[in-house]
């Protein structure tokens, strides 16, 4: 999944080594816990090579879990995630949230609904009911994710300190133009073909392929439900909505925000 994720091209990764790319198959379960595990490996890899590690990205919870050392109260449950992912082939995420009585701010976001279901499983009685609704057994609820012990991960994380953090925000107008340019670039440079290939490889039902920004719209274009212009415009709208949520989240953390002019005026420190 290269084009729709904005993955840096090989020419860039040859100049600046990247860690954290091409580690999972499309549709594989993923969580903040797994991110921390991989991030710790990446930090150690960079330091061993004598390089200063920079953590870059846009998933606020994952970045926050790393730099603020969140306690990660709910373990990942890959079995439940897989079962709910299959249910999404017949029902919407909002219908799952309603059926399981989940309190979710955005019930139309499948990832948030599934994560809310995992958190609800902290209560044993609720876990049994949720697993049964998903087509699993109470025994599955007991075993699911038992191998994921967050203790060692959090212990290792305490040995690291974040030297500084910056939110790079060019401003709403500039950001909006970048979104338009990026979405146009994706559709002109193979996003639809990428989705088509993912389907050929058997990943068409993977949650990321079916619902992720750009991938969902490209799939609807392939299915004849969207014209190219409709797919492009819908991708732009969803990207704007996501960018707005990112800006609100980052600013809400109190992390310092810089535009390009402010950043270039600094001495290289953050």
**CATH code for the domain in which residue 28 is found:** 3.40.50.300
Q: What's residue 31's pLDDT? A: 79
Same domain (yes/no): 203, 256: yes
Q: Which pLDDT belongs to residue 185?
A: 96
Last residue of one domain, picked from the residues 49, 72, 95: 72
| Rounded-to-integer distance, Cα 21 and Cα 56, Å | 12
Query: By the 8 A CB rule, do 82 and 29 touch?
Result: yes
Say whether both 15 and 92 belong to one domain. no
Write down the pTM of the prediction.
Answer: 0.72
Domain boundary among 56, 72, 88: 72
| 59 domain residue, yes or no | yes
pLDDT at residue 59 in the model: 83
Distance CA(60)–CA(43), nearest Å, equals 18
152 part of a folded domain? no
**For residue 160, is it within any domain?**
no
158: how many CB neighbours lie within 10 A of its CB?
8
What pLDDT does 151 receive? 64
Tokens 């609904």 locate to 113
Alpha carbon of 174 to those of 57, 86, 109, 242, 256: distances in Å?
A: 19, 39, 27, 16, 19
Asked if residue 259 and residue 171 are part of one domain, the reply reads yes
Q: Quick one: 172 and 212 in the same domain?
A: yes
| Domain co-membership, 171 together with 252 | yes
The CATH number given to whatever domain includes residue 251 is: 1.10.287.890
Residue 157 is assigned to a structural domain of this protein: no
The total number of structural domains in the chain stands at 3
Residues 175 and 259 in one domain: yes
Q: What is the pLDDT along the chain (270 residues), one digit of tens a residue?
A: 999 999 998 899 899 889 888 888 887 877 788 888 889 999 988 888 898 899 988 788 888 888 888 766 556 788 898 899 888 888 999 999 999 999 888 888 888 898 889 888 878 888 889 999 999 988 888 888 665 555 677 778 888 888 888 898 888 899 999 999 999 999 999 999 999 999 999 999 888 899 999 999 999 999 999 999 999 999 999 999 999 988 888 888 888 888 877 766 665 555
Look at residue 269 and tell me if it is in a domain: no
Say if residue 181 is in the same domain as residue 238: yes
Tell me: do 56 and 99 sit in the same domain.
Answer: no
Does 67 share its domain with 89?
A: no
Residue 4 located in a structural domain: no
The parent domain of residue 128 ranges over: 78-143
Residues 186 and 130 in one domain: no
Q: Please report the pLDDT score of residue 150 as a whole number.
A: 59
Per the domain annotation, does 91 fall within a domain?
yes
Exposed, middle or buried: residue 65 (CB in 10 Å: 0-12, 13-18, 19+)? buried
Q: What is the pLDDT of residue 263?
A: 67
Tell whether 27 and 58 lie within a shared domain.
yes
User: Are 24 and 63 found together in one domain?
Assistant: yes
Q: Count CB-CB contacts under 10 A for residue 22.
A: 9
Asked if the structure places residue 117 within a domain, the reply is yes
**The pLDDT value given to residue 153:** 74
Please state, in angstroms and rounded to a whole number, the distance separating the CA atoms of residues 200 and 2: 16
Q: Helix crossing, 228-252 with 60-67: angle to 10°?
A: 30
User: What CA–CA distance (Å, rounded) separates 236 from 204?
Assistant: 22
């Amino acid at each position: 999944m290269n084009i729709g994720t904005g993955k840096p091209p090989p020419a860039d990764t040859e100049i600046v080594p990247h860690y954290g790319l091409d580690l999972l198959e499309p549709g594989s379960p993923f969580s903040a816990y797994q991110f921390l595990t991989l991030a710790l490996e990446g930090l150690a890899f960079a330091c061993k090579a004598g390089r200063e590690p920079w953590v870059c990205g846009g998933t606020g919870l994952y970045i926050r879990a790393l730099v603020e050392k969140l306690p990660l109260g709910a373990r990942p449950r890959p079995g439940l995630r897989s079962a709910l992912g299959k249910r999404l082939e017949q029902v919407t995420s909002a219908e799952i949230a309603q059926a399981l009585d989940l309190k979710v701010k955005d019930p139309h976001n499948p990832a948030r609904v599934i994560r809310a279901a995992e958190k609800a499983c902290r209560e044993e009685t609720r876990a049994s009911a949720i697993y049964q609704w998903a087509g699993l057994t109470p025994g599955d609820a007991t075993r699911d994710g038992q191998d994921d012990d967050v203790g060692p991960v959090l212990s290792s994380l305490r040995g690291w300190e974040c030297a500084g953090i910056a939110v790079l925000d060019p401003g709403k107008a500039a950001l909006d133009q970048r979104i338009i340019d990026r979405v146009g670039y994706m559709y002109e440079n193979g996003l639809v073909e990428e989705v088509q290939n993912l389907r050929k490889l058997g990943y068409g039902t993977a949650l990321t392929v079916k619902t992720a920004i750009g991938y969902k719209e490209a799939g609807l274009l392939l299915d004849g439900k969207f014209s190219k212009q409709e797919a492009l415009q819908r991708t732009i709208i969803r990207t704007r909505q996501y960018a707005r949520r990112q800006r609100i989240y980052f600013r809400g953390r109190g992390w310092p925000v810089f535009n390009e002019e402010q950043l270039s005026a600094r001495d290289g420190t953050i």
